[in-house]
Structure formats: C-alpha cells, structure tokens
Chain A
C-alpha cells in the first residue's frame, strides 16, 4: 500500500517536472519568437496552451485522489502541498509565454527598437530561475534557490529600467508607442514569471525542510 503510494508520488513528481519544462519552453520560445519576429514559433507556443492546462487538471485530479486514499503525513504531505501550489504557478508561467507569443502576432514587422531593450537579458535571468527551481524540486538541493531574493530584485530592477527606457522612446517619437507598449507588457509578464519562480521556491523549501519562508 505505502510503497504503491510512494511510487505514485514519484510518478506525480515526474509529471510536475514535465509540466515545468513545458512552461519553461513556452516562455523561452516566446522570447525567441519575439526576437526573431517568428510568427510560426509564436503560433507553436500558443498551441501548447491546452497541453499545459491538461497537465494542471490531471495532476490536481491525481493528487486529490491520493490524499483520501493514503492520508499522507509529514514530508509526503508537504510534497503534495507543494505540487498542488506549484502546478498553478507553472500554468501561469506557461500562460505568460502564450501572452508574449500573442504580442508577437500583433507586432508589425518593423525593426526592434534598441534591440528589444533589455528584454532578452531579462528573459534569460527569469528562465534560469525557473530552471533552477525545477532542479531544486527534483533534487531537493536548496542551494539552487538560496539567492532567489537577489535574483528577483535584479529582475524587478530590469523591469523598471525597461519601463523608463520605453517611456523615453515613446516620448521621443509617438511611432514607437505600439512597440514600446508591448515591450512594457512583456517586461511585466517576465517579472511576474520571476515572482512565480520565487513562490515555487518557497514551496520547495517547505517541502524539503518544513519551514515556511518568504522570498521576493
């Protein structure tokens, strides 16, 4: 009975990781699509929306099935709690990827202003946070998320700098407004993704040692 539960829990962790990699991929590809003005890639990201929603639904259903059957305690229960919260955050990250991909479809084929300001750099930072928190979930190595406070601060600072820069471009030339408005939105989405990575990091920390901490 109990062994069966632990096998199921391991399967579920695999599913969560699969979902995490999908969310990460959606975000990463949406930024590539933005950089390269690749509408096909943007369409591909948008098409993944259903897949991530299905993973969210199925993992939640399976977890809620396990709880009354096995009544998990201690770390098992903390893992279940972590998974339940994590899938919501991962869904949101995936959906921000989809939102960025939609912006790609709306942008006209004009050259990027100032090489997309600092968006690619910001996206790189956010993606590394998502990558590290997924690894921490998989390996229970909390050192991977130890510096999330500082990394989140840097992402916040980047969003603000992109915002200020875009305001300047818009003031200089009203023809920049559409593109810059999209850039501001994309920066905001990326910042929210970093926030979600921090929330996941809090839950992973709780899963591993049972302590509630606040990050970001």
Chain B
C-alpha cells in the first residue's frame, strides 16, 4: 500500500487535498448512480477516473463543480469539501465555485466568436474590462494552453475555424483565463486525433505544476501516462483508488485487475 493514499481514496500523507468527498450518494430519479463515494483529490496532481461506460465517473466529476444541479431529478447526499467548505451548503455561490473549478468537456465547445473573445469572455463576466489587462490574460492563458504560437496571428478570427485539437486547447485556455484552482476534464481527447491527443496530454502534464487536474478517460493508457492517482469505478462505486503506478502494475482488487487487463468492460 502506498504511503500517500489508501485504496479507498483517503489521503494519509502530507500533500494537501483540494477536494474531499464524504459518503457521496447521487440519484437520477430512482437510479442510484453514485454509492458512498469517499475520496480525496490532491493539490497539484493529476487524478484520473477510469471505469466502463455508465460506471458513474462523469457523474462524479460533475459533482465536483455542481454541474449535476442543472439535471432534473438529480439528488445528492453526502459532503463535497472544496478547500474545507462543503460546496453543497445552501450559502455557497455556485458561480464562484465554477470559476475556481473549471470544466473541459468531451467535445470542444468554443463560443461562436473570435479566438480572443473566447478567452476574454470569462474575465469580462467577472468584471475585468481594461483592454490591456484582457490582452495580458488572453496571451497568458493561450500560452499556458500551448496554443499561443498557433493563433497569435489570428486572434480576431472565428474560433470555429480552428482544428479540433486547437479548439480543445482554446477551451482549456478559456477555462484558465478565470484562474481556476482545479480543472475537471471529461474525456477531453476522445474526439481528437492522436497528434492532438498527444498535445493535450503534454499540456495536462505541464498544467499540474500550477493546477490540480481531474480527468475522466476511457483510455487506460492515457490515464497511466498522465496521472499521479487513479480511481477505478464500477456500477457507481469507487472500487479502488491509489497511485497510478500501483493501480496499473499491481492493483489491489480483482475487479480492477480484470478491468484493466480487458477481461470485461
């Protein structure tokens, strides 16, 4: 057993946790989609969630920034602490939570506006109006998303004209522009070709220096390549959680072993 985190997802090392869930249960109407999820997401690490389709990994990642709130019939019990505060408390400002916890989706979803405006959109919503300040944020975010060199001459052109991989990096730049602490990624490369995927993976590896990343992926090799911690989910349960190296080399649970060696799923 590694010394930083236990298999059921509880951290016992010195590295700080940014998000902690405690006995989280979630229902979509009568369907019990998440069962007693207790886990910790460590700061400046990449955490991957893997598991077969319908296991609840996307649902879980959406719990972290209350994206499930907008789904009719969705009910959640348990605690989700972000920096020590339960984000499901009634006094929590959801907009503020989503500013500090950004989300990247499976398909790139740039706004139908210029590259510049896509990135400047968030800061503008949050009250930044000075052009020089916005210029600075746009450049910094695009550089962090490893896109600046490819778009610096076409900032005024429509983002829709970018390639799929560039669009996804633009979405990452857009998320970074509001200076989040955590970036959630729900299968961010599943719609991309291998070269664009490699660029996003390199980017995620770089981002961990400044941000905490949680990624849902179907691609186990991707999880093995880029994450520090991996959680394996099955039928709404977190079956095993631990260091990625341990999960992929020597999983503790037979179910995890069977899944990652392709015996089911």
Contact = CB atoms under 8 A, between A and B. Distances in A.
A72 to B, nearest CB: 7
A76 B249 contact: no
A78 B249 contact: yes
Interface in B220-263: 220-221, 224, 248-251, 256-257, 260-263
Range, interface on chain A:
10 to 19
A74 B249 contact: yes
Nearest to A79: B261
A73 B220 contact: yes
- Chain B residues touching A, majority SS: helix
28 contacts: A1-B262, A2-B261, A2-B262, A2-B263, A5-B262, A6-B263, A70-B262, A72-B261, A73-B220, A73-B248, A73-B249, A74-B248, A74-B249, A74-B250, A74-B251, A74-B256, A74-B257, A74-B260, A75-B257, A75-B261, A76-B261, A77-B248, A77-B249, A78-B250, A209-B250, A210-B249, A210-B250, A211-B250
Interface residues of B, number: 13
A184 to B, nearest CB: 42
A70 B221 CA distance: 11
A77 B261 CA distance: 9
Nearest to B251: A74
Interface in A69-106: 70-78
A209 B251 CA distance: 10
A2 B221 CA distance: 15
List 9 tightest A-B contacts by C-beta distance, closest first.
A210-B250, A2-B262, A73-B260, A76-B261, A73-B248, A74-B260, A74-B257, A74-B261, A71-B221
Contacts of B256: 74
Contacts of B251: 74
Select the residue from A73, A76, A211 with max chain B CB neighbours within 10 A.
A73
Interface of A: 1-2, 5-6, 70-78, 209-211
Contacts of A1: 262
A74 B220 CA distance: 11
Contact of B261 (A73, A209, A210): A73
A210 B261 CA distance: 14
Nearest to B221: A71
Contacts of B250: 74, 78, 209-211
A74 B205 CA distance: 23
Contacts of A78: 249-250
A42 B251 CA distance: 47
A72 B224 CA distance: 12
Contacts of B221: 71
Contacts of A71: 221
A73 B256 CA distance: 11
A73 B220 CA distance: 9
Nearest to B224: A73
Interface in B36-76: none
A2 B260 CA distance: 11
Contacts of A74: 248-251, 256-257, 260-261
Contacts of B260: 73-74
Contacts of B248: 73-74, 77
Nearest to A77: B249
Contacts of B249: 73-74, 77-78, 210
A177 to B, nearest CB: 52
Select the residue from B220, B250, B251 with max chain A CB neighbours within 10 A.
B250
Nearest to B256: A74
